[in-house]
Amino acid sequence: MSRNGDLFVRRSKNSEGKIDVDKPLWSQDTYFGRWMHYAFITDCRTVFVSEKKLREAKKLCEDYKAGKEPVGLQHKDIIYAKKLKDSAFHPDTGELMHVFGRMSFQLPSSIVLTTAMLTFYKSTYGIIASQLINQGINAVVNYTNRSAMNDDPEDVSMIHQAFALATTASCAAALSFKKILSNKGALFERFVPFCAVAVGNIVNLPIMRQREITRGIPIFTKDGDECIMMSRIAAIKGISECIITRILMAAPGMLLVPAVTQRLRLYCFYQFRSWVVMPIEIGLSTICLLVMIPSALAIYPQRNSMKPGLMKMCPGEYEEFQKAMGEHAHPDRVYYNKGL
């Protein structure tokens, strides 16, 4: 995406004509607005920016917000600084995220891993190796993009245990699907990587974010910044939305690419140029991921909502909500940060 951000300003200006660096540049109430926002912050070129420049960009945004920006600062400069800040720093803690855990790293890492999984789907050792790496990176991504407002520094051992269990479960799923689908035909066998990735995400995300399920995540009123309470139902809903997002993100590439390459095997030129499969897989995977990363992330707003009545599913949580609201009018919806 171009650094020239003049066209991005219109939806993010306040009454004084300044850009609100704490909010997306596009309305998050529409799918198109969310798509533009995620395409903006998942630009893979930002992973090559040095830590020094990232911190300078964050400092520029903070100065701009406080009205201390340098003389002559242009809109395109503050927009690019915001892009770097949003792509590299956690929205809850403000801490610099590990490069492997950033959503902007999804494109290059997913291209490599998808190609590897589609290439070595017949080899048991290849499946284990690719799933270990894939779920290892997924674990880093899932932890990095968690809702971090209730972090506990004493949870390091739990993180290590969750990582080990998630990677073990995903490898077991891959080998199980390989055995189940191996007798269903060559095309179905090539869908083993997608099945493994889908199951791996279903296992990986809840395990890596189990603290949110056990402790809950903060919920707010629509315009409020003060936490009402901690909700486990909101945590479960948010994590479920992230699981759906991750599976849909991987689906087109991991289902379409095998179908195309399997079709190529029917043509005679494949017998003499079998090497052509690799660049085709890489090219198709790149196209699918370029489209699907922002498309899948945009399905749900990051600051999503739910009806308070949904908390009745968890014994005692709705009563706690009623006590927390006291005599105040109960809102139609409460809001939470679902993570990514």
Q: Are 193 and 259 contained in the same domain?
A: yes
Share of the chain above pLDDT 90, in %: 7
- Round to whole Å and give the CA distance between 96 and 105: 14
Confidence of residue 157 (pLDDT cuts 50, 70, 90): low
Higher pLDDT, 71 or 8: 71
Q: Are 333 and 184 contained in the same domain?
A: yes
Among 48-57, 170-179, 318-327, the least confident range = 170-179
Q: Of 89, 119, 140, which residue is a domain's last?
A: 89
Higher pLDDT, 90 or 31: 31
Among 73-87, 169-183, 250-264, the least confident range = 169-183
Q: How far is CA 319 from the centre of its chain?
A: 32
Q: Look at residue 5 in the predicted model and tell me its pLDDT.
A: 41
The pTM assigned to this predicted structure is 0.79
Which residues are within 8 A (CB) of 99 and not within 5 positions of it... i.e. 6 or more apart?
A: 47, 105
Higher pLDDT, 186 or 54: 54
* One-character DSSP codes across 67-123: T-PPTT--HHHHHHHHHHHHHHB-TTT-PBPPGGGSGGGHHHHHHHHHHHHHHSTT-
E strand or H helix that includes residue 242: helix 232-264
Q: Are 161 and 283 contained in the same domain?
A: yes
What is the tens place of the pLDDT at every residue in 288-324?
888 999 999 999 988 888 888 888 888 788 888 888 8
* Distances in whole angstroms, Cα of residue 233 to Cα of each of 103, 136, 159, 263, 308: 25, 27, 21, 45, 10
Q: What are phi and psi of 217, to 5 degrees?
A: -120, 155
- Round to whole Å and give the CA distance between 30 and 193: 33
What is the tens place of the pLDDT at every residue in 191-207?
777 877 888 788 778 87
Among 171-185, 240-254, 278-292, the least confident range = 171-185
- 34, 25 contact by CB (below 8 A): no
Burial of 48 (0-12, 13-18, 19+ CB in 10 A): exposed
Higher pLDDT, 58 or 188: 58
Q: Look at residue 3 in the predicted model and tell me its pLDDT.
A: 44
Instruction: For Cα atoms 136, 141, 147, give the angle at the middle one, nearest 5 degrees.
Output: 135
Q: Are 154 and 241 contained in the same domain?
A: yes
Instruction: For Cα atoms 228, 82, 134, give the angle at the middle one, nearest 5 degrees.
Output: 80
Q: Are 168 and 313 contained in the same domain?
A: yes
Confidence of residue 17 (pLDDT cuts 50, 70, 90): low
Q: Is residue 98 part of a domain?
A: no
Q: Is residue 77 part of a domain?
A: yes
* Distances in whole angstroms, Cα of residue 89 to Cα of each of 155, 183, 239, 290: 21, 47, 20, 22
Which residues are within 8 A (CB) of 2 and not within 5 positions of it... i.e. 6 or more apart?
A: none
CB-side neighbour CA atoms (13 Å) of 300: 23
Say if strands 334-337 and 303-306 run parallel, antiparallel, or are unpaired: antiparallel
- Round to whole Å and give the CA distance between 238 and 234: 6
Q: Are 148 and 273 contained in the same domain?
A: yes
Q: Look at residue 1 in the predicted model and tell me its pLDDT.
A: 41
Residue 238, Cβ neighbours under 10 Å: how many?
26
Q: Are 74 and 120 contained in the same domain?
A: no
* One-character DSSP codes across 273-291: -GGGHHHHHHHHHHHHHHH
Confidence of residue 36 (pLDDT cuts 50, 70, 90): very high
For residue 2, what are the domain limits? 1-89
Q: Is residue 95 part of a domain?
A: no
What is the tens place of the pLDDT at every residue in 73-131?
788 888 998 999 988 888 777 788 888 888 888 888 888 888 887 777 667 777 778 77
Q: Are 9 and 132 contained in the same domain?
A: no
Amino acid at 256: L
Q: Does 14 score more than 50 pLDDT? A: no
Q: How far is CA 75 from the centre of its chain?
A: 28
CB-side neighbour CA atoms (13 Å) of 162: 20
Q: Is residue 123 part of a domain?
A: yes
Q: How much is the mean pLDDT over the chain?
A: 79
Q: Look at residue 19 in the predicted model and tell me its pLDDT.
A: 81
How much is the average pLDDT of 155-161? 62
Q: Look at residue 4 in the predicted model and tell me its pLDDT.
A: 41
Q: Does 264 score more than 80 pLDDT? A: no
